[in-house]
Amino acid sequence: MWSIQGESKNVEYKVALPDRSIKYVKTAVAFANDEGGRIVFGIEDQTLNVVGVPDDQVFTIMDAISNAIADSCEPLIIPDISMRDIGGKTVIVAEILPGAQRPYHIKSMGRDQGTFVRVAGTTRQADAATIKELLFEGSNRSFDQTVCLGLEATDEDIAKLCDTMTEVAKSNAKHDADSIKPVTAKQLLSWGVLVERDGEFKPTNAYAILAGINGPVRSVVQCGVFKGSTKAVFVDRREFTGAPWELVEQAYQYVLRNIHMGARFEGVYRQDVYEIPPDAIRELIVNAVVHRSYIDHSSIQIAIYDDRLEITSPGRLPMGQTIARMKEGYSKIRNEALAAAFSYMRLIEHWGSGIPRIIEEVREAGLREPEFLGGDTDLRINIYRQVDALASDTASGVRDTTETVRDTASGVRDTTETVRDTASGVRDTTSLTDDERAVIHYAQANGGITSVVAKNVLNLQERQTQKILAGLVNRGILQRIGAARSTRYVPAEATAANENRD
């Protein structure tokens, strides 16, 4: 039995054959540019009342629909026309498959005006960015692997990017940093970060993104804290630019500073516990940066409301991807060069595992399952906060020790004190600066931090960063291990604990 449900992204109803074929040809074009769908003739769209089509006109109407779609669309769309019997009445179904030669458009209107897509169950004219995205999908190309017009890169520029990416990879490798092979220009070429033209290396859009060159391609993360559950009243706003790993760290630290944090005590040791799992936050930000559409000049937006964390990534879902498939672990890569670079730098672990892992981590934290919205023009993910969770979790020994931290124009006000007991005594951390706290949080979450990563996290000059790291070492909060370029700074209590086990 064929069930009748309301109009959706993939279904549209027509009570009768319209007097002008363009009224349904637009929808056929939109379905071909998206996931496909069906147009059903003989059902009233508001009431879902089955009216049917006259039996003596069924075949005439079917031919008219088939001819109108085939004659009006470019590239050619051939619908699968069939009839169904519902309650003794005949309806006609025009099935449109997702097309591979995108963008599809109405010939008489031209590509710029005649390209349509489905948005929230309605047919809408595509904007310039969407048409460009469809062009890349139809040609099976990746925008980030396309030469970046107007951008040049010297051998020195390329070598600097290679060195930086190698350092980032080593800092994220934790225990197997020595196994990381340095990035070379040849490697960038194989990923599509560079292309070769007439014996010379040319930078692609991925190069501009990785190098943090915000001009040819817009790579920005906008963060904000809002009072209530809407954007009517904002408390703080920040905009971050730079290399993608810098964007990830800056946005990640911003969120951590602006959500509740409690403490779990195990003996004399204190463990920070955030109301939203930090790993889930970081994974969502990484996904937004690597999978967003860079054709779309909008920014990634991270909004912290009283009731939720909201992350919005620009661009429609890639061809073949749906929210349901994404939640099941199906991975569809939009930016192939960026994805390869992120994988090398250990910013991404296993393809397809990120979203299912986020869902599981949020559930385990006692929060409701993340909410996935949109996908037609952008993707929005909400993680709903449980403000009283930490305060009420006394059974597990967790106490809420913070108020929500807000960033202001004059700096960050943090209401917490990070106190660590170690084998050598209790460290005095009551006078930590905001930058010092950010470094400590990163080192604790990642088992250490390098000067390069600290510089990116703090967005400071190298000299200022070294001064902060040296100060934390002198105060016994961090310990320096290794030498030269392999130097790392690890929490002092971690080192002491390892020594005690030995």
pLDDT tens, residue by residue, 5-60: 777 889 999 999 999 999 999 999 999 999 999 999 999 988 999 999 999 999 99
Q: What is the rounded distance in angstroms from the CA atom of residue 307 to the CA atom of residue 305?
A: 5
Q: Nearest CA to 309 among 248, 362, 246, 360?
A: 362
Q: Which of 370, 355, 374 is nearest to 315 (CA)?
A: 374
| Domain shared by 75 and 133, yes or no | yes
Helix or strand (DSSP H, E) at 281: helix 278-291
Which residue would you say has higher pLDDT here, 51 or 432?
Answer: 51
* Polymer length in residues for the chain: 502
Query: Within this chain, do residues 114 and 156 fall inside the same structural domain, yes or no?
Result: no
Return the higher-pLDDT residue of 41 and 1.
41
CA 330, CA 324: separation in Å to the nearest integer?
A: 9
Q: Report how far apart the first and last C-alpha atoms of the chain are (Å, whole number).
A: 69
Torsion of CA 387, 392, 393, 394, to 10 degrees: 150
**How high does pLDDT run on average in the chain?**
86
Q: Do residues 126 and 152 both lie within one domain? A: no
In tens, the pLDDT along 352-409 reads 578 999 999 999 999 999 999 998 889 999 999 975 544 444 334 444 444 444 444 4
pLDDT digits (tens, 9 = 90+) for 151-191: 999 999 999 999 999 999 999 987 788 889 999 999 999 99
Question: How much is the pLDDT for 425?
Answer: 38
If one counts the domains in the chain, the total is 4
* Res. 495 pLDDT band, cuts 50 70 90: low
Structure tokens at 80: 């699968």
**Residues 118 and 149 occupy one common structural domain:** no
pTM above 0.75, yes or no: no
Q: Point out the domain boundary residue: 350, 384, 418.
A: 384
Q: Are residues 471 and 368 in the same domain?
A: no
Chain mean position to CA 230:
21
User: Is the pLDDT assigned to residue 236 strictly greater than 70?
Assistant: yes
Read off the pLDDT of residues 192-226 as tens digits, 9 standing for 90 and up: 999 999 889 999 999 999 999 988 899 999 999 99
Considering the domain architecture, whether residues 153 and 19 belong to the same structural domain is answered as no
pLDDT above 70 coverage of the chain, percent: 85
Look at residues 316, 500, 348 and name the one whose alpha carbon lies nearest to residue 423.
500
Do 258 and 356 share a domain, yes or no? yes
| 402 domain-assigned | no
Closest CA to 254 of 290, 311, 291, 302: 302
Question: What pLDDT band is residue 494 in, cutting at 50, 70 and 90?
Answer: low
Does any domain span residue 63?
yes
- Are residues 483 and 453 located together in one domain of the fold? yes
The mean pLDDT of 329-340, rounded to a whole number, is: 91
For residues 354 and 344, give the distance between their C-alpha atoms in angstroms, rounded to a whole number. Answer: 16
Question: Is 499 inside a domain boundary?
Answer: no
Where does residue 401 fall: left (phi above 0), alpha (psi -120 to 50 degrees), or beta otherwise? alpha
Please write the tens of the pLDDT for every residue from 118-138. 988 899 999 999 999 999 999
Q: Are residues 110 and 185 in the same domain?
A: no
> Which two tokens mark 89?
């009445």
187 plus 312 within the same structural domain: no
Question: What CA–CA distance (Å, rounded) separates 4 from 16?
Answer: 16
Element (H, E) at 209: helix 205-210
Work out the angle between the directed axes of helices 244-257 and 278-291 (0-180°, nearest 10).
150
| Full residue range of the structural domain in which residue 15 is found | 11-138
Q: What's the confidence (pLDDT) of residue 376?
A: 87
> Are 128 and 172 within one domain?
no
